[in-house]
Amino acid sequence: MKSSKHAKGFWLSIVLAVIFSIVMQFLISGGTLNPFYVNTLFSIGINIILAVSLHLIIGITGQFSIGHAGFLAVGAYMSAIVTMKLALPFPVAILAAGMAAAVAGLVIGIPTLRLRGDYLAIATLGFGEIMRIVFLNIDYVGGASGMTVTHLTTWPWVIACVLMTIIVIVNFTNSTHGRACLSIRENEIAADAMGINTTYYKVMAFVIGAFFAGVAGALHAHNFYIIQPGNFGFLKSFDILILVVIGGLGSMSGSVFAAILLTIISTYLSNYPELRMVIYSLVLVVMMLFRPQGLMGTKEITAFLKMGKSAKGGSHDDGKHTTA
């Protein structure tokens, strides 16, 4: 009974999403949306993928990673090599980007995920910086001047990747593995005592998150014509982090909303980049002081929809605290 209801909601949202994407496709190909809006739409899509993939690592598993731009960079460069140097089609590039980032996630995750809290944050930050410096020093991918990439990102690819990311991560969260990850977030020592292989699940969440960051990297590279190591520094990681934090650590719909909202705001503030960063950082500090759980806390949008019907919520808590 319950599971069929669950499945009904799931298929309903898929159908809605497909209808939405077809309508958007007609609006884009019909020329109703001008290129500026189309570009904003693509940025929103890419940011949603990044936010949701980081949400899996920080929000669900509670591992504070601030080197997400490193995976974005791996994906972007890998996809650019596949399409520009090897002249293979775009879908192969997307997949290769995801795989390369996942491998990077595995390589960096196995040693560093034994660390906790602050140390993990710093190690992932260091990883992001190392990635930037590696790409800066490889002449094959253009060094500091970067690499030019043809524009291959189209709306069907963006929306397909966004939906794929959301579906995989929602289903992962609701699976046994997802519950294991949640238990690590709530209390790692207790989870360990309950017989959960914490390192295994942390690495798993990390690799899945890295995979989708790599996919986002492929879309990013083929949307902006040029990729440079400087675009993937600490600030980019921070841009992704703020989406997850403002949306609410532990809330996927929160991350999606924050990605949409902040991408639109930053598009309008793009003429004033310093002001944008001043506002972002102020929002971050004020948010931590007055509402540390973020806009949505750990609640999902569905919790608000059925608020009147029943007040039960397995994984929902009072939303008064942040994760980790």
What is the contact surface with another protein in residues (CB under 8 A)?
64, 66, 111-112, 114-115, 117-119, 121-123, 125-127, 129-130, 133-134, 136-140, 143, 189, 234, 238, 241, 245, 249, 274-275, 277-278, 280-282, 284-285, 288-289, 292, 321-324
Of 23 and 285, which has the nearer Cβ to another protein? 285
Of 87 and 189, which has the nearer Cβ to another protein? 189
State in angstroms the smallest separation of the CB of 153 from another protein.
Answer: 27
State in angstroms the smallest separation of the CB of 192 from another protein.
Answer: 10
Of 41 and 108, which has the nearer Cβ to another protein? 108
State in angstroms the smallest separation of the CB of 110 from another protein.
Answer: 10
User: Which amino acid is it at 265?
Assistant: I
Q: Phi/psi at 226 (nearest 5 deg)?
A: -140, 140
Alpha-carbon dihedral angle through residues 208, 211, 223, 228, given to the nearest 10 degrees: 120
Of 223 and 323, which has the nearer Cβ to another protein? 323
State in angstroms the smallest separation of the CB of 12 from another protein.
Answer: 35
Helix (H) or strand (E) run with residue 147 in it? strand 147-148
State in angstroms the smallest separation of the CB of 75 from another protein.
Answer: 20
State in angstroms the smallest separation of the CB of 205 from another protein.
Answer: 16
54 DSSP 8-state letter: H
Alpha helices in the chain (DSSP H): 2-29, 35-55, 68-80, 90-112, 117-137, 155-174, 176-186, 188-193, 198-221, 234-247, 252-268, 273-290, 301-305
Structure tokens at 116: 């906790």
What does 189-214 look like in DSSP terms, one character per residue?
Answer: HHHHHTT--HHHHHHHHHHHHHHHHH
Of 153 and 255, which has the nearer Cβ to another protein? 255
Structure tokens at 169: 């991560």
User: Which amino acid is it at 111?
Assistant: P
State in angstroms the smallest separation of the CB of 271 from another protein.
Answer: 14
Of 171 and 281, which has the nearer Cβ to another protein? 281
Structure tokens at 179: 């519950």
Q: Phi/psi at 147 (nearest 5 deg)?
A: -135, 135
State in angstroms the smallest separation of the CB of 70 from another protein.
Answer: 11
User: Which amino acid is it at 17?
Assistant: A
Of 263 and 322, which has the nearer Cβ to another protein? 322
Q: Which residues pair with 148 in a beta bridge?
A: 226
What 3-state DSSP class applies to 273? Answer: helix
